[in-house]
Amino acid sequence: MPRFALELVSAPPGVRVTFPGGAPRLEGLPGARFAIGRVPDAEVVVVPETPAALDALIQNGWGGRRNAFLYVAEDGRWDVEHAGHGGAGPFVNGEPLRGRRALLAGDEVAPARVLVFRLVEVEPLLREPPEMLDAVAEAPDDLGRWQVLADWLVEHEAAHALMAAYELKLEQGTNDPELIGDYVAVRRARQQLPTDVFFQPLAWRCGYVVSGTLSLGPRDSHEAQRLGRAMALPQLAALSKVTVLAQGTVSAARLEGVLAALPKTVRTVGFQFGGAVPTTVLSALHRRPPQAHTVRLHLSDPLGPLRPVVELVAAAGWRVLDFEGTRLADRAAELTTLVRQQAGLTFVLGGTSIGAEAVSAIDADNVRWVPDDAAALVVDEVTGAALPLCRARSGFVWGLPLEPLGEAWLNQATGAVLSTGDTFLGAGRRYRFLQGRPLDDVYRVFIARRVAAWLART
């Protein structure tokens, strides 16, 4: 199937044109729809930087805030459509466009006579083997899997092959200073993503986003288009973990749309809600991505009964339910019952404010206190509650003055690197820092000693 791209041929002085992700041209997958316009959410953004530049566009036929739409058919063909404004343009090969028409390689599309694009035929899109992308998404910390993918990228001369190979060298403790300049340039180009979908920072490895955060603000009519466009980006081809920030009221249909748009490689989906969420909204979890096994629910007070949520998650085929960030300190009895009833579902209960006295009552073979991606944890010295720390989500540190520093964690308040067993102050409380493998066992041993010491005192 032929593949095409839209390139900029000429623009008047003072007019800046940007393509998605800072790319040098516009390339589209089958089914894509793009807008050329002067609005920030257009895919091809035309920015007149002076009044004279804007006048030059208008006097040469530009009309509307969105000037034209481009469509990519399933067979790779492109169409262009007038956006319905009153300007003389756009023009196709110098002729005014009215309605919609097909484009051929070499055709020129001009939103204004002085702003010209050309459709060109390009090399077939390089596609990484799906099984390699799936392998790294399944275990994003496995350097051996990334090495296999990097070798393939180098062999096939992928644009970001240098980035992948160089980063793996750094992780293995080697370096090549002569490549640093080329690496930085490739990384800068590769890591440009639409800012209207993702929050920064994202967790990258070898040129791929392995985990990221989606922000759902006020809904608009272009949300589905933006999500679809973002999820089709090659940088997201190995996406493993996604956190959805739901600000304000959201519906089940909207969350279903998000889940349906996620790449098939996704294994973990988190939802962080800014307000109370009815169980009817969480019914969207039945739309589980095909390989997703873990759902993280950060639910706000007031929190209703847990049983409907737990039963819904289990029925949808999720294997792990992580309540990270949901306050469950007063729900120990309810949780104990649900853990016993849903033996096939693993509960992750770190970060839920459950204290030491309740840990032994709830604990079971299908309970974990620390998620798999945690690198360390801190324990509240008063309650014994566990707060996991994950490098991939370095901004989520429970309001404590901590940040990852390589393999270690730094106390920003004192400048000290923390070692296991250290205590520190944060948010008006004292915490103990713990590391070791497996972290779940480290925490259980700590709690057992704490309870034994408490019993000895009483």
CATH no. for residue 19?
Answer: 2.60.200.20
Tens-place pLDDT, residues 393-406: 666 788 899 988 87
Residue 34: inside a domain, yes or no? yes
Decide which of 104, 122, 140 is a domain's last residue: 122
3-state SS of 391-448? HHHCCCCCCCCEEEECCEEEECCCCEECCCCCEEEECCEEEEEECCCCHHHHHHHHHH
Tabulate helix, strand, coil % of the chain (nearest 5).
30, 30, 40
60 and 134 within one domain: no
* Neighbour order of strands in the sheet with 3-10: 26-27, 3-10, 115-122, 108-112, 91-92, 95-96
Segment 221-230 long-range contacts (CB within 8 Å, at least 24 positions apart):
222/41, 223/254, 223/257, 224/257, 224/261, 225/33, 226/41, 226/194, 226/196, 226/197, 227/197, 227/257, 227/258, 227/261, 228/261, 229/20, 229/32, 229/43, 229/194, 230/193, 230/194, 230/197, 230/198
38 and 146 within one domain: no
Residue 16: inside a domain, yes or no? yes
Computed over its alpha carbons, how large is the radius of gyration of the chain? 26
Residue 171: inside a domain, yes or no? yes
Residue with more model confidence, 61 or 203: 61
Tens-place pLDDT, residues 303-327: 788 999 999 999 999 999 999 889 8
100 and 9 within one domain: yes
pLDDT at 192 over 80: no
Residue 36: inside a domain, yes or no? yes
pLDDT at 256 over 90: yes
- Give, as one character, the DSSP assignment of residue 147: H
32 and 98 within one domain: yes
pTM of the model: 0.75
Decide which of 122, 141, 174 is a domain's last residue: 122
Residue 111: inside a domain, yes or no? yes
The total number of structural domains in the chain stands at 2
So what's the pLDDT on residue 132? 96
Residue with more model confidence, 131 or 156: 131
Tens-place pLDDT, residues 17-39: 998 767 788 887 777 889 999 99
93 and 180 within one domain: no
Decide which of 158, 190, 222 is a domain's last residue: 190
118 and 22 within one domain: yes
Confidence of residue 82 (pLDDT cuts 50, 70, 90): very high
So what's the pLDDT on residue 458? 55
Comparing C-alpha atoms, which of 421, 343, 335 is closest to residue 377?
Answer: 421
In terms of residue numbers, what domain contains 16? 3-122
Question: What is the rounded CA–CA span in Å between residue 370 and residue 388?
Answer: 6
Residue 70: inside a domain, yes or no? yes
Question: What is the rounded CA–CA span in Å between residue 282 and residue 256?
Answer: 9
Residue 298: inside a domain, yes or no? no
Confidence of residue 454 (pLDDT cuts 50, 70, 90): low
CA angle 253, 258, 262 (to 5 degrees): 145
Residue ranges of alpha helices (H) inside 210-355 are 223-231, 252-261, 279-282, 307-315, 332-341
